[in-house]
Amino acid sequence: MSRFKMLALAAASALSFPLPVQASPEQTARLRDAALADTLAWDITEGLTTEIGQRKAGSDAEARARDWAVAKLKALGFSNVRIETFDIPYWERGIATAEITAPFPQQLILTALGNSGATPDKGLTAEVIGFDSLDELKAADPAAVKGKIVFVTHRMAPAQDGSPYGPVGNVRRQGPSIASKLGAAAILIRSIGTDHHRVPHTGVQDWSNGAKPIPAAALSNPDADQLERVLKRGKPVSIALTITAKMAGKRQSGNVIAEITGRDPAAGIVLVGGHLDSWDLGTGAIDDGTGVAITTAAAKHILDAGQPLRTIRIVWFGSEEIGSFGGTNYFDRHKAEKHHVAAESDFGADRVWRFETRVTDAAVPAMKPIAAALLPLGIVQGHNGTADGSDLDELAKSGVPIIALSQDGTRYFDLHHTADDTLDKVDPAQLRQNVAAWTAMLSVVANDPTEYGPVTGKTE
Ligand SMILES: [Zn+2]
């Protein structure tokens, strides 16, 4: 950098000089490399998982987590820190137990799926009918299913990009409604997970197209293996099941928002964040304590470097796990504001390996400085048109550009939505690589006067 340019930049930051000044590649590289020594993301993840723990949507713990977030974001020096509340339908987990009563009596380990119905108080005992896939269940004769406990298995392979979660996850998302409509007494699925531990994976499902709630639960992978073997013996198999889950009215949830006000408010908002709520079995470390921690730590590195051109808005979304209620509420309140770009971290804390975008064709060349800044971290550029984020769906549909920093998901579904989602699973070195990647990306996009959107139509 020339001495003149350095002086100009120093003057610009000292006087909050209003002209758009792009972050130079050298500035971005310096911020990125400094962020590799970040301690804040760990501090936030450790604090949230220790002082709050699980943060189930609508729970008292989620409310305490919002207050915790406000105190933390204020202490870090962000502006306009506030909570935006909304109501959600609240589901209580209760207890879930199951045992094979015939032909080989034994206990099974399982957990209820979100929005599961309950068994009668004393439980229910019924014959099991097994299916090797969701398609097999869809094709079932209702007479064969009526009054029985449906069991649906599958095979889910680990993958760096996590892509099996889409199709395999449909066993959880759709299986319960299909089984209910076929007249099943209850449904058990193989956990949507890639581990081999006796730790079941919960997750949300909705009763769609008027399906009436029935008890719905996931067996741990080894228990699903066991039930498969028992069924293969060819004798009638009965299970006694007790689930006391229930819907329990409306509860309050909310999004926590903080900002770095940009030099040019008309330049629009760069939205980054993750979701504050978690499932209740673990402490929500990788899903998604690290997501709010990584994005907040990156924003803090930008804040400390001087005022960016565009406003950076950090959102810790509430109630993502039960259907992205926080993302929907955010969109309803803020859709009239200009969003320059949005990005969410919600895939654990292992290293970022790819960066994807959803920007206009005209803006694709403007992604080059981001790609160049990410390459030294071992991050490759993926496609334009594919980036998304569960809390960003409505923004994306409205044309807001999206950037995704994809994390390595190879072991994510070993832990996802289980009691094993705890702080010890976070690798501090990989967490810091995430912060460096987000810092580099933010340094470019928050200071780049190029417009990336609106993105209309299908860009894939
Ligand atoms: Zn998540």
In a domain, 452, yes or no: no
User: CA-CA distances (angstroms) from residue 440 to 127, 297, 434?
Assistant: 57, 12, 10
Average pLDDT, the chain: 95
Cα(413) to centroid(ligand 1), Å: 11
CATH number for the domain including 179?
A: 3.50.30.30
Residue 123 backbone dihedrals phi, psi, to 5 degrees: 85, 175
Q: What is the pLDDT of residues 273-290, one digit of tens each?
A: 999 999 999 999 999 999
Asked whether residue 7 carries a pLDDT value surpassing 80, the answer given is no
Cα(346) to centroid(ligand 1), Å: 5
Instruction: With CA atoms as reference, report the closest residue to 451 among 360, 343, 355.
Output: 360
In a domain, 281, yes or no: yes
Name the domain boundary from 244, 271, 299: 244
Q: What is the pLDDT of residues 129-162, one digit of tens each?
A: 999 999 999 999 999 999 999 999 999 999 999 9
- Band (pLDDT 50/70/90 cuts) for residue 19 is very low
**pLDDT score recorded for residue 23:** 87
Non-local CB neighbours of 113 within 8 Å, separated by 6+ positions: 172, 176, 189, 202, 203, 204, 205, 216, 217, 218
**pLDDT score recorded for residue 21:** 61
Asked whether residue 12 carries a pLDDT value surpassing 60, the answer given is no
Cα(433) to centroid(ligand 1), Å: 19
Do 390 and 420 lie in one domain? The reply is yes
Cα(12) to centroid(ligand 1), Å: 39
**pLDDT score recorded for residue 386:** 85
The parent domain of residue 19 ranges over 3-90+250-445
- Band (pLDDT 50/70/90 cuts) for residue 17 is very low
- Band (pLDDT 50/70/90 cuts) for residue 8 is very low
pLDDT above 70: percentage of residues in the chain:
95
**pLDDT score recorded for residue 458:** 55
Q: What is the pLDDT of residues 182-197, one digit of tens each?
A: 999 999 999 999 999 9
Do 229 and 361 lie in one domain? The reply is no
Do 329 and 410 lie in one domain? The reply is yes
- Band (pLDDT 50/70/90 cuts) for residue 460 is very low
The average pLDDT across 60-81 equals 98
Task: Output the pTM of the full model.
Answer: 0.94
Do 229 and 133 lie in one domain? The reply is yes
Among the options 127, 136, 228, 320, which is catalytic?
320
Cα(255) to centroid(ligand 1), Å: 15
Name the domain boundary from 244, 268, 283: 244
- Band (pLDDT 50/70/90 cuts) for residue 363 is very high
Do 222 and 257 lie in one domain? The reply is no
- Band (pLDDT 50/70/90 cuts) for residue 313 is very high
Cα(398) to centroid(ligand 1), Å: 22
Cα(347) to centroid(ligand 1), Å: 6
Residue whose token pair is 């989620």: 62
Q: Computed from CA positions of residues 322, 328, 329, 330, in that sequence, does the dihedral angle turn out positive or negative?
A: positive
The average pLDDT across 322-338 equals 98
DSSP labels, 213-264 = P--EEEE-HHHHHHHHHHHHT-S--EEEEEE--EEEEEEEEEEEEEEE--S-
Cα(284) to centroid(ligand 1), Å: 9
CATH number for the domain including 306?
A: 3.40.630.10
Cα(321) to centroid(ligand 1), Å: 6
Non-local CB neighbours of 180 within 8 Å, separated by 6+ positions: 187, 207, 211, 212, 213, 214
Strands of 16-94 (E only): list them: 79-92
Do 79 and 98 lie in one domain? The reply is no
Q: What is the pLDDT of residues 109-127, one digit of tens each?
A: 999 999 999 999 999 999 9
More confident residue, 15 or 308: 308
In a domain, 168, yes or no: yes
Rounded to whole angstroms, the Cα distance separating 92 from 111 reads 12
**Number of compact structural domains in the chain:** 2
Strand order in 380-384's β-sheet? 79-92, 246-260, 311-317, 269-275, 339-344, 402-407, 352-358, 380-384
In a domain, 178, yes or no: yes
- Band (pLDDT 50/70/90 cuts) for residue 206 is very high
**pLDDT score recorded for residue 16:** 44
Cα(143) to centroid(ligand 1), Å: 38
Cα(49) to centroid(ligand 1), Å: 15
Do 256 and 397 lie in one domain? The reply is yes
320 is catalytic: yes
**pLDDT score recorded for residue 263:** 96
Q: Which two tokens stand for residue 29?
A: 């590289």
Do 202 and 331 lie in one domain? The reply is no
In this structure, which residues have their CB less than 5 angstroms from ion ligand 1?
A: 287-288, 346
**pLDDT score recorded for residue 22:** 78
Asked whether residue 1 carries a pLDDT value surpassing 90, the answer given is no
In a domain, 368, yes or no: yes
**Of 16-20, 148-152, 298-302, the least confident:** 16-20
**Are 272 and 392 in contact, with CB atoms under 8 Å apart?**
no
Cα(365) to centroid(ligand 1), Å: 31
Cα(407) to centroid(ligand 1), Å: 13
